[in-house]
A and B are shown apart, each in its own frame.
Chain A
Amino acid sequence: MSATAHASDPLDTVTGIPNGKLGLWLFLASEVMLFSTLFTTYLVLRMASVEWPRGWEVLNVPLAMLNTFVLITSSVTMVLAFAKAATRDKKAFNKYLGLTIALGFVFLIVKGFEYGAKFSHHIAPSTSIFYAVYFTMTGLHGLHVIGGIVLNALLLYWSSKDWDHPLFVGRIEYAGLYWHFVDVVWIFLFPALYLL
Chain B
Amino acid sequence: MAHKKHDAHGSQDFISKYVFSVDHKVIGLQYLITSLLFLLFGFILLMILRWQLAYPGQPIPLIGRLLSDNLAPGGVLSPTFYNALGAMHGTIMIFLGVVPLGVGAFGNYILPLQIGAPDMAFPRLNMMSYWVYLPGGMLMLLSFFLPGGAAQSGWTSYPPLSVINPGQTVWLLAMLLIITSSLLGSINFLVTALNMRAPGMSLWRMPVFVWAQLVTAVLLLLAFPPLQAAAILQFMDRVAGTSFYLPANLVVFGETVRAAGGGLPLLWQHLFWFLAHPEVYVLILPAMGIVAEIIAANTRKPIFGYKEIVGAMIFLGGMSFVVWAHHMFVSGMSPKLSNFFLITTMIISVPSVALLTCLIFSLRGGSIRFTTPMLFALAFLPLFGIGGLTGLPLGLSTTDIYLHDTYYVIGHFHYVVVTGSIIALMGGVYHWFPKWFGRRMDDFWGKVHFWGSVICMNGVFFPMFIQGLSGVQRRLYDPTAQLHNLPTQPLNIVSSVFAWLLFVAQIPFIWNFFYSMFKGKKTEENPWKATTLEWACPSPPPHGNFEKTPHVYRGPYEYSVPGHKNDWTPQHVEA
Same assembly: yes
Of A24-32, A70-78, A103-111, A153-161, the one contacting chain B is: A24-32
Q: Mark B196-222, 1 if CB is under 8 A from A, else 0.
A: 111100000000000000000000011
Q: Mark B221-238, 1 if CB is under 8 A from A, else 0.
A: 111111011101100100
A residues 100-141 touching B (CB-CB < 8 Å): 124-129, 132, 135-136, 140
CB of B507 closer than 8 Å to a CB of A:
no
B residues 252-291 touching A (CB-CB < 8 Å): 259-264, 267, 271
- CB <8 Å contact, B260 and A41: no
Contacts of A34 in B (CB 8 A): 225-226, 228-229
Contacts of B241 in A (CB 8 A): 124-126
Instruction: State which of A15, A23, A37 has its C-beta within 8 Å of the C-beta of B271.
Output: A37
Known: A15-B195, A33-B222, A140-B232. A126 touches B242 (CB 8 A): yes
- CB <8 Å contact, B264 and A23: no
Closest residue of chain B to A129 (Cβ to Cβ) is B262
- CB <8 Å contact, A14 and B264: no
Report Cα–Cα, A126/B121, bound state, in Å.
44
Of A42-50, A79-87, A162-170, A184-192, the one contacting chain B is: A42-50
Report Cα–Cα, A127/B262, bound state, in Å.
11
Chain B interface bracket (under 10, 10 to 19, 20 to 34, 35 or more) = 35 or more
Please count how many residues in chain A sit with their CB below 8 Å of the partner chain's CB atoms: 36
- CB <8 Å contact, B232 and A14: no
CB of A94 closer than 8 Å to a CB of B:
no
- CB <8 Å contact, A125 and B195: no
Instruction: State which of A3, A22, A129 has its C-beta within 8 Å of the C-beta of B244.
Output: A129
- CB <8 Å contact, B242 and A26: no
CB of A13 closer than 8 Å to a CB of B:
yes
- CB <8 Å contact, B271 and A127: no
Instruction: State which of A1, A15, A132, A140 has its C-beta within 8 Å of the C-beta of B198.
Output: A1
Report Cα–Cα, A31/B226, bound state, in Å.
9
Closest residue of chain A to B8 (Cβ to Cβ) is A3
Of B97-105, B186-194, B324-332, B533-541, the one contacting chain A is: B186-194
B residues 523-575 touching A (CB-CB < 8 Å): 544, 549
- CB <8 Å contact, B243 and A129: yes
Contacts of A92 in B (CB 8 A): none
Report Cα–Cα, A126/B236, bound state, in Å.
9
- CB <8 Å contact, A33 and B118: no
Instruction: State which of B183, B187, B260 has its C-beta within 8 Å of the C-beta of A132.
Output: B260
Contacts of B122 in A (CB 8 A): 19, 23
- CB <8 Å contact, B229 and A126: no
Contacts of A13 in B (CB 8 A): 195-196
Can you add 20 more A-B contacts, CB < 8 Å, to A2-B544, A22-B195?
A19-B195, A22-B190, A22-B191, A22-B194, A23-B122, A30-B222, A31-B225, A34-B225, A37-B226, A37-B230, A45-B244, A45-B262, A45-B267, A48-B262, A124-B241, A125-B242, A126-B260, A127-B260, A129-B262, A140-B232
| Interface residues of A, Cβ cutoff 8 Å to B | 1-3, 6, 13-15, 17, 19, 22-23, 26-27, 29-31, 33-35, 37-38, 41, 44-45, 48-49, 124-129, 132, 135-136, 140
Residue pairs across A and B with Cβ atoms less than 8 A apart, 23 shown, are A3-B118, A19-B121, A22-B191, A26-B186, A26-B187, A26-B191, A27-B187, A29-B222, A30-B183, A30-B222, A33-B225, A34-B226, A34-B229, A37-B230, A37-B271, A38-B229, A44-B267, A124-B241, A125-B236, A125-B240, A127-B260, A129-B244, A136-B236
User: What 4 A-B pairs come out closest when comparing CB atoms?
Assistant: A126-B241, A129-B262, A132-B242, A33-B225
